[in-house]
Every structure is written in C-alpha cells, then in structure tokens.
Amino acid sequence: MSTVTAAHDASTAAAAAVTEAELPRLRRRISGVLIASQMLGSLGVPISIALAPVLATEISGTESLSGFASTAAVIGTALFSLPLAALMTARGRRPGLVLAYAIATAGAALVVLSAVVESFPLLMLGMAAFGAASSANLQARFAAADLAAPDRRARAISVVVWASTIGAVLGPNLSAPASASFAGTAIPETAGPFVWAGGVFLVTGALVAVLLRPDPLLTARALATPGDTAPPGHSLRAGLAAVKASPRARLALVAVAVSHTTMVSIMVMTPVDLGHHGADLSLVGLVISIHIAGMFAFSPVMGWLADRLGRLSVIGLSAGLLSLAALLAGTANGSHAQTTAGLFLLGLGWSAGLVAGSALLTDSVPQPVRAAVQGLSDLTMNTTAAIGGAASGLIMAYAGYGWLNAIGAALILPMAALALFTARRRAAPAPAGPDADA
C-alpha cells in the first residue's frame, strides 16, 4: 500500500470515528485552523501581487506587457480550481489545500528565478502557479462549511472570508520592506516579496497538513445521512449535472459569478478614473483600502443575515448594494467622496453575494458532489472576472468610467431576476435549513 493511500485510509478512519457529541468541539477547532491558515495564506498574495506588473515591465522591457503577470495569476487560480476540487472530493480538504500551497510556493520560486535570469515566459509560468494560493484561499471557505450546521453555515463561511482582512490590509504594506530586504543581493528587489510569499505559503501548507485533522470533508461524509452516501462525483460533468438539477444551485452559481465579476470590473478601473480627476496615490490607496474593508471586514454580518433572513434575501441585498455602488461611482464625476462611498458599497455587495451564494450552493447539492460543484463555482467566478477585468480596460478607453459602471449594473439584472424567480418557486422542494422558507 502506498504512503498516500495509507494516509488517506487513516484520515478516513479518523473521520468515521467522530461522533455527534464531539462535533461542537471539532467545529471550533477546524474553524480556528482555517482562520489561521486564511490569515497567513491571504497575506502571501498581496505582499507580492502589487509588484507583479512592475516585475513584468522590468523583465519584458515594455509597459505594454505589465498586466500579463496579474492576468496569469488569475488564469492560474481558475485553472487549478477543478483539479483541486477533484482531489478534495477523492481525498479530502487537507490534501487539496496542502497541494495548492505547495504549487504556489513553487510558483513563487519560479517568479524569483525568472527575475534573476530575466525570462518573461518563466515569469508567466510562475505567476500561473502562484495563482494556486488564491484557489486554496477560496476553497477554505467551503472547508469551513463542511461540518457547520445548516443554520450556521453562512456564518462559518463568512468568518473564514473575514480572516482575509488581515492579509488584504497588511500585505501591501509589507511589499516595501520585503523588497528592501534583498537590496544588494543577486535577487532583484522587485522579486523580494515573492521570496517572502513563498515562505508564507510553505508555513501555511505545513499548518494545514499538521492541524487540519480529522479532515472536515471526510468527516462530513462519514456523518452524512443514508440518502447522501452515493459515490462522490469528481468531475466537471458531475458538478454541472448537480447544478443543472437544482434551481437554487444555478442561482448560487450566478450570484457568486456576477457579484465577483461586477466588483472586479469596476474596482480595477477606479484608480484610473481617480487619476483622471486629480487624485494622488495616497488618495487612491485610501479608496481601495476602504473598498477592501467593505469586502472583508463586514462578512460576518452578511453571514449572520444569510442564516437569519435566508440566502435569497441576502443575494437580493447584494444586487441592491452592487447597483447602488455602480450608480454612485458612475455618476461621481470627480467627487472623490462619492467614488469612495461607491467603492465601499461595491465591497459590501461583493461580500453579501459571495457569502450567501457560497452557502446556498452548499445547501443546494448533495454532499457527495459538493466539492465538485464548489470547484466549478470558483472556476466560473474567476473566469468571468478575468474576462470582465480585461474588457473593463477597453470599455474605459472607448466609453468611459460612467459607461463601465452602467454595464456593471446591467450584469446584476439577471442575478436579481433569477433570485426573484427562485423565491417564487414555493412548490419546488427546498433544502433543509435557513433557506427553506426564503
């Protein structure tokens, strides 16, 4: 028997040994491990990602290729979503998360090597692998939902999302000292943050490997009701079939993808618009910081609302917040205060959509195919956001920031209409939990 198979069998046995009486303590411990890993994992990405365009410019010798580094990371995040979900379905959350952080560590090393040898293709490969860290950070929210009670599932997800606040706030501020720490060495200063990021990912992977026991997904599977004991679905086809069979799962997928795409499309062009209206870098940084606070700091509130009021209600709130954000930002016309308010609401709307949509997705499909469906969700949201981010530059160039926000608001209409239609399907079977009467 191989070492991997033996480890998996041991994890499965440990998961099966968990009793209902032990669940509250286990939930708290697993949540603590996931929060700690999320704080670390989310710190590694922003430490270095801010300097990725600068590094791309230095290596390629032209600013026209500067955006390709960040794009490669986004593509990597999307591409790793399904393979990691398949591994988690087969072996549990821990192996998938550990592998993702290992790939990201290797990606950071490749980025550093690309800077030393000045190879742009190697930089692209490294940044794509670096994107696996974001895949792990996204999948961690679903790991938190594995053992959560249905009426507390959104809160479990939201607390892990909230933990990203630490990295999102501290990470960019560590870029400068991370760069300076390699002054006078063979490693270019712009690559220094990637060394730090690789170290962070390595520690995070070790933390998950040692402490995320028993595996939350395998434990949830061992405690599943008899009706949920079908063989796990590993593939994209299994995920698509499960979503196709559930109107609520379709709404959840749309809600997560639309809220993420709308947020990314508007957010990435806001610094450009602020610059057009005389904002300096300090003001731009402040606006983006307030936006990030809206994204992460209030996610526990969104989780509480989703558990108390229902997932559909909070998805409707997301649509309203995103629409109001687009209205405020798109009509600011140089009012920095109005733009700031719009970006804050944009972050809140994203938080509501991601938390409620993720909880509804988990509620709406059978346990054996949840990991596959969750991987499909992350693939969809990152792919659509990459397309939206790329298109936003063209829209900004040819139509302006106001039209970009108008198009972003238009994207929300299908989500709102589908939420309303789903809420009216009273006769359709609904999953147990807080959304049964939504």
pLDDT value at position 324?
A: 98
From first CA to last CA, the distance across the chain in angstroms is: 49
Q: What is the pLDDT of residue 221?
A: 87
How buried is residue 20: exposed, middle or buried, by Cβ count under 10 Å (0-12/13-18/19+)?
Answer: exposed
CA–CA dist 314, 304 (Å, integer)? 10
Q: What angle do CA 383, 384, 389 make, to 5 degrees?
A: 100
Q: Can you tell me the distance from the alpha carbon of 411 to that of 295, in angstroms, rounded to the nearest whole number?
A: 19
pLDDT score at 393: 83
Compute the distance between CA of residue 60 and CA of residue 55 in angstroms, rounded to an integer. Answer: 8
User: Quick one: pLDDT at residue 56?
Assistant: 87
Is residue 358 within 8 A of residue 148, CB to CB? The reply is no
Q: Which pTM value belongs to this model?
A: 0.85
Residues of the chain short of pLDDT 50, as ranges, are: 1-4, 6-7, 426-428, 430, 432-438
pLDDT tens across 216-262, in order? 999 998 887 655 555 565 567 888 999 999 999 999 999 999 999 99
Of 251, 254, 220, nearest to 366 by C-alpha is 220
* Domains identified in the chain and CATH numbers: 10-220 (1.20.1250.20), 233-424 (1.20.1250.20)
Tokens coding 297: 């700091």
Rounded CA-CA distance 350/325 in Å is 11
Whether the bond into 431 is cis, omega within 30 of 0: no
Question: Which residues, 6 or more positions from 265, have their beta carbon under 8 angstroms from its beta carbon?
Answer: 385, 388, 389, 391, 392, 404, 407, 408, 411
pLDDT at 4: 44
140 touches 12 (CB < 8 A): no
- Are the beta carbons of 345 and 325 closer than 8 angstroms? yes
What pLDDT shows up at residue 438? 43
Per-residue model confidence (pLDDT) at position 434: 47
Q: How far, rounded to the nearest angstrom, does the alpha carbon of residue 376 sit from its chain's CA centroid? A: 13
